[in-house]
Structure 1
Amino acid sequence: MHQFTLKTAYLAMMYVARNEGIELDEKYYELEDDLNGIFEVTDMIDNIENIYKLIEK
Protein backbone atom coordinates (compact mmCIF):
# COMPACT_ATOMS: atom_id res chain seq x y z
CA MET A 1 0.00 0.00 0.00
CA HIS A 2 1.32 3.43 -0.90
CA GLN A 3 2.56 5.35 2.18
CA PHE A 4 0.23 8.32 1.62
CA THR A 5 -2.72 5.99 1.21
CA LEU A 6 -1.87 4.21 4.44
CA LYS A 7 -1.59 7.49 6.34
CA THR A 8 -4.82 8.78 4.84
CA ALA A 9 -6.63 5.60 5.86
CA TYR A 10 -5.29 6.01 9.41
CA LEU A 11 -6.58 9.59 9.60
CA ALA A 12 -9.96 8.45 8.31
CA MET A 13 -10.18 5.75 11.00
CA MET A 14 -9.27 8.30 13.67
CA TYR A 15 -11.96 10.62 12.35
CA VAL A 16 -14.57 7.88 12.61
CA ALA A 17 -13.42 6.88 16.10
CA ARG A 18 -13.67 10.48 17.26
CA ASN A 19 -17.16 10.92 15.77
CA GLU A 20 -18.32 7.67 17.38
CA GLY A 21 -16.96 8.74 20.77
CA ILE A 22 -14.47 5.87 20.94
CA GLU A 23 -11.69 6.53 23.44
CA LEU A 24 -8.24 5.47 22.26
CA ASP A 25 -4.79 5.38 23.78
CA GLU A 26 -3.01 8.75 23.68
CA LYS A 27 -0.35 7.39 21.29
CA TYR A 28 -2.96 7.18 18.53
CA TYR A 29 -3.92 10.83 18.98
CA GLU A 30 -0.26 11.86 18.98
CA LEU A 31 0.32 10.11 15.65
CA GLU A 32 -2.82 11.73 14.29
CA ASP A 33 -1.48 15.16 15.28
CA ASP A 34 1.85 14.41 13.60
CA LEU A 35 0.15 13.29 10.40
CA ASN A 36 -2.17 16.28 10.35
CA GLY A 37 0.90 18.49 10.37
CA ILE A 38 2.26 17.03 7.13
CA PHE A 39 -0.89 16.43 5.08
CA GLU A 40 -2.88 18.88 3.05
CA VAL A 41 -6.56 18.27 2.36
CA THR A 42 -5.71 17.82 -1.32
CA ASP A 43 -3.44 14.88 -0.40
CA MET A 44 -6.40 13.14 1.19
CA ILE A 45 -8.70 13.93 -1.72
CA ASP A 46 -6.18 12.47 -4.17
CA ASN A 47 -5.96 9.31 -2.09
CA ILE A 48 -9.71 8.65 -2.19
CA GLU A 49 -9.20 7.20 -5.67
CA ASN A 50 -6.26 5.06 -4.49
CA ILE A 51 -8.25 3.64 -1.58
CA TYR A 52 -11.25 3.06 -3.83
CA LYS A 53 -9.10 1.06 -6.24
CA LEU A 54 -7.65 -1.05 -3.41
CA ILE A 55 -11.11 -1.89 -2.10
CA GLU A 56 -12.50 -2.70 -5.53
CA LYS A 57 -9.75 -5.26 -6.29
Structure 2
Amino acid sequence: MKKFSCSDAGASCTAQVTATDEQDLVRQLTQHVRQVHKIEPNETILTYLVSKAYDVGGGSR
Protein backbone atom coordinates (compact mmCIF):
# COMPACT_ATOMS: atom_id res chain seq x y z
CA MET A 1 0.00 0.00 0.00
CA LYS A 2 1.05 3.56 -0.67
CA LYS A 3 0.45 6.65 1.43
CA PHE A 4 0.71 10.28 0.39
CA SER A 5 0.40 13.48 2.42
CA CYS A 6 -0.11 16.77 0.60
CA SER A 7 2.07 18.51 3.16
CA ASP A 8 5.01 16.28 2.13
CA ALA A 9 4.76 17.82 -1.34
CA GLY A 10 4.98 21.35 0.07
CA ALA A 11 1.27 22.19 0.19
CA SER A 12 -0.46 23.68 3.21
CA CYS A 13 -3.10 20.97 2.80
CA THR A 14 -3.67 18.33 5.45
CA ALA A 15 -5.11 15.71 3.07
CA GLN A 16 -3.72 12.20 3.16
CA VAL A 17 -4.29 9.49 0.57
CA THR A 18 -3.88 5.76 1.13
CA ALA A 19 -3.92 3.62 -1.99
CA THR A 20 -3.65 -0.08 -2.76
CA ASP A 21 -1.03 0.45 -5.48
CA GLU A 22 0.52 3.16 -7.66
CA GLN A 23 -2.32 3.11 -10.19
CA ASP A 24 -4.86 3.67 -7.41
CA LEU A 25 -2.63 6.41 -5.97
CA VAL A 26 -2.51 8.26 -9.29
CA ARG A 27 -6.29 8.00 -9.62
CA GLN A 28 -6.88 9.37 -6.13
CA LEU A 29 -4.26 12.11 -6.46
CA THR A 30 -5.73 13.24 -9.78
CA GLN A 31 -9.17 13.51 -8.21
CA HIS A 32 -7.84 15.35 -5.13
CA VAL A 33 -5.76 17.86 -7.09
CA ARG A 34 -8.69 18.63 -9.40
CA GLN A 35 -11.34 18.97 -6.69
CA VAL A 36 -9.43 20.56 -3.83
CA HIS A 37 -6.61 22.48 -5.49
CA LYS A 38 -8.47 23.33 -8.71
CA ILE A 39 -5.50 22.23 -10.83
CA GLU A 40 -5.55 19.93 -13.84
CA PRO A 41 -2.56 17.71 -13.07
CA ASN A 42 -0.20 16.86 -15.90
CA GLU A 43 2.30 14.01 -16.03
CA THR A 44 5.06 16.10 -14.42
CA ILE A 45 2.89 17.03 -11.43
CA LEU A 46 1.66 13.47 -10.94
CA THR A 47 5.19 12.05 -11.21
CA TYR A 48 6.35 14.48 -8.52
CA LEU A 49 3.43 13.68 -6.22
CA VAL A 50 3.89 9.92 -6.62
CA SER A 51 7.59 10.36 -5.76
CA LYS A 52 6.51 11.82 -2.41
CA ALA A 53 4.40 8.78 -1.54
CA TYR A 54 5.76 6.00 0.61
CA ASP A 55 5.01 2.38 1.36
CA VAL A 56 2.77 2.06 4.40
CA GLY A 57 4.35 -1.20 5.54
CA GLY A 58 8.00 -0.22 5.17
CA GLY A 59 7.75 3.53 5.68
CA SER A 60 10.60 4.18 3.23
CA ARG A 61 10.49 7.12 0.88
Q: TM-score, normalised by structure 2?
A: 0.33
Instruction: Return the structure number with greater relative CO, CA threshold 8 A, min gap 6.
Output: 1
The structure having more radius of gyration, on CA atoms, is 1
Q: TM-score, normalised by structure 1?
A: 0.35
More helix by share: 1
